[in-house]
Amino acid sequence: MKTKTPRNIMVFVKKLKRSVFTTYELVTLSGKSRSTVTQCLTRLVKQGLLMKIYRGVWAEPGPRPISSLEVIPYLFSRQRVYVSFISALHLHGIVEQVSQVITLASTSHTRTLRTKAGVFSVHQIAPAFFGGFDWYKGAGSFLIAEPEKALIDSLYLSSRKKKQFSHFPELYFPATFSFKKANRWVGLIREKSIRLCVQQKLNALNKFTKGNP
């Protein structure tokens, strides 16, 4: 029976009908203990049938590589995060340069997760400033900041003590980008010194940008 158990777990993996999943999902679906499910999944990894993305997160290899973005909801299932900063600016076409690190905004502590699907850098922002995001392209599997909020998030962090994102790659603002909307986000920053610093940086960007609403 023991040799069949890992293969039996694959039956439940197939029932999920997606490549990425968590230990918790299989425990719930199979009715088996967490330790049993984990042992079975570990054996399947050794057999090359599955890959371990991170603690408690797994994937079934397919014809295409596992996307860093598609694993976000599983890596952060217990907290809300959204793609922002340089990663969001790139996805919105404002920054051409592709970053090797996926940048995320959260109200929890700043930290870095290194996984088999990529490196994720989580940056803490104030709860009152946690907003301005939606599902990617309206129906994606992960949350992403709107273009204006992604820019202000970046300026927000660059104005704080650690000064992340203090140097941008070349920025291209499409006609749909609204500096008025960006200014409204600046107004929601509670710390006066940070708000004034962000406003100054935004004004400097706007000064050299023409044709934006």
The CATH number of residue 34's host domain is 1.10.10.10
* The amino acid at 179: F
Q: Is residue 11 pLDDT above 70, yes or no?
A: yes
> What global pTM score does this model have?
0.88
Tell me the C-alpha distance between 107 and 182, whole Å: 20
Does an H or E element contain 198, and which?
Answer: helix 192-207
Q: Do 37 and 119 belong together in one domain?
A: no
Q: Nearest Cα to 48, choosing from 34, 35, 61?
A: 61
Tokens of residue 188, six digits: 């929601």
What is the number of domains present in the chain?
2
Mean pLDDT across 50-75: 93
Tell me the C-alpha distance between 19 and 59, whole Å: 5
Average pLDDT over the chain reads 90
From 59, 85, 101, give the residue that closes a domain: 59
Let me know if 3 is exposed, middle or buried by CB neighbors in 10 A (0-12, 13-18, 19+). exposed
In a domain, 13, yes or no: yes
In a domain, 213, yes or no: no
Instruction: Report in angstroms the alpha-carbon separations of 156 from 93, 95, 134, 180.
Output: 20, 17, 20, 17
Tell me the C-alpha distance between 117 and 73, whole Å: 13
**Structural domain containing residue 44:** 5-59
Q: Do 11 and 97 belong together in one domain?
A: no
Q: Do 141 and 39 belong together in one domain?
A: no
Q: Do 102 and 162 belong together in one domain?
A: yes
Q: Do 193 and 149 belong together in one domain?
A: yes
- pLDDT tens per residue across span 17-51: 999 999 999 999 999 999 999 999 999 999 999 99
Q: Output DSSP code: residue 128.
A: G
Does an H or E element contain 114, and which?
Answer: strand 111-115
Q: Do 33 and 101 belong together in one domain?
A: no
Instruction: Report in angstroms the alpha-carbon separations of 1 from 6, 7, 25, 28, 150.
Output: 10, 10, 22, 21, 52
